[in-house]
Amino acid sequence: MQLDMEDHEDNVELKDTATLGAADFQAVDNVVAEALVFHAPNYLSGPVMTPEQLQQKRIEEGIRRLQDCKQSYSSVDMYISAVIALWNDQVAEGRNISKHPRSGSVKALLAVLQKMTVDRRKMTYQDKGVNTLFDGYKTREQVTKTYDWYFLRNNEEGLRDMTAHSFGLYGLLRSDNQLNLALSDLGSEDLPDDEGATPCFAVIALLQQGKTNTKGLVKYSAFMRAKDVFACPVFTLAAYLFASYATSSAAVKEAFEHAEVYTSKVTHENR
């Protein structure tokens, strides 16, 4: 086999192999690669292709691979996010000077993959109600059965998880909002007497940070008592705070007493 290298003779300078550096080897590799693409005989790489034809072939190959991809858009995006997190750490340490991994090509790839994922779900008749509003709780009995499981754990962690569940269900709080909440972020407000048959108050959570609140804006989340005590978010919060106080150390209890923490509120049916 003999390659036509006439067009590239001026680009390669012969040197003694002992003095060749990385840049020299890269120059030779570039010339050889270009020769293989545009000047190789048919039996080696098929018909000679122009740069436009080569680009089109790469696009078609990329689409074929996307069609065969079994990963969803969210999975691939998660992998890319992990790479970006590693890149951020390396840039902060001064060990990486490359461009941001989420380039325009990557964004285009994700957009195409997202469309293909939607089309694949339609073709396989996947349930569109999964992870939507229609996949949530429908009756109060479903909520009480869920709370029963937390009670059966019979520990403080069970009450903690039940409270987190209530905050997400009734307060529509994301996990990062819940993790950032402190006791000082919680308060209550009495509702007008003419709003219901019995006096009622709302628990209000102050939200000043989170994934959807990156500018530190003041936002609120609130929930009220439920008629059924075993499906009530206020009850779950009260039970968790009581258990935390009862099992806390003497120093924590002294801190509560020193701050004169008390409440005049009553629970369901004055219990």
Note the pLDDT of residue 234. 92
Rounded to 10 deg, the angle between the 140-153 and 156-170 helix axes is: 160
Locate 79 and state its tokens: 């992998």
| Distance from C-alpha of 62 to C-alpha of 7, rounded to nearest angstrom | 31
Locate 21 and state its tokens: 């550096």
Fill in the amino acid letter for 90: Q
Helical (H) or strand (E) element with 245: helix 233-246
> pLDDT tens, 177-230?
888 888 888 988 888 877 777 778 889 999 988 777 888 888 899 999 888 888
Note the pLDDT of residue 39. 40
Buried-state track 129-161, b at ≥16 Cβ within 10 A, e below 16: eeeeeeeeeeeeeebeebbeebeeeeeeebbeb
| Distance from C-alpha of 41 to C-alpha of 25, rounded to nearest angstrom | 24
Helical (H) or strand (E) element with 223: strand 219-224
CA angle in degrees (0–180, nearest 5) for 208-209-213: 100
Q: Which is nearest to 238 in space by CA: 185, 148, 178, 166? A: 166
pTM score: 0.53
Cβ pair 110, 80 in contact under 8 A:
yes
Non-local CB neighbours of 66 within 8 Å, separated by 6+ positions:
109, 112, 113, 116
| Distance from C-alpha of 198 to C-alpha of 190, rounded to nearest angstrom | 11
> pLDDT tens, 72-83?
888 888 999 999
- The CB density around residue 197, as the number of other CB atoms within 10 Å, is 5
pLDDT per residue, tens digit, the chain (271 aa), is: 444 444 444 443 444 444 444 454 444 444 434 443 444 444 345 567 788 888 788 878 877 787 777 788 888 889 999 999 999 999 999 988 888 988 888 888 888 888 888 888 888 888 887 777 677 777 888 888 888 999 899 888 999 999 999 999 899 888 888 888 888 889 888 888 777 777 788 899 999 887 778 888 888 999 998 888 888 999 999 999 888 888 776 666 666 666 555 555 554 544 4
Note the pLDDT of residue 32. 39
3-state class of 226 per DSSP?
Answer: coil
Cβ pair 162, 241 in contact under 8 A:
no
In terms of DSSP H, where are the helices of 93-224?
104-123, 140-153, 156-170, 175-180
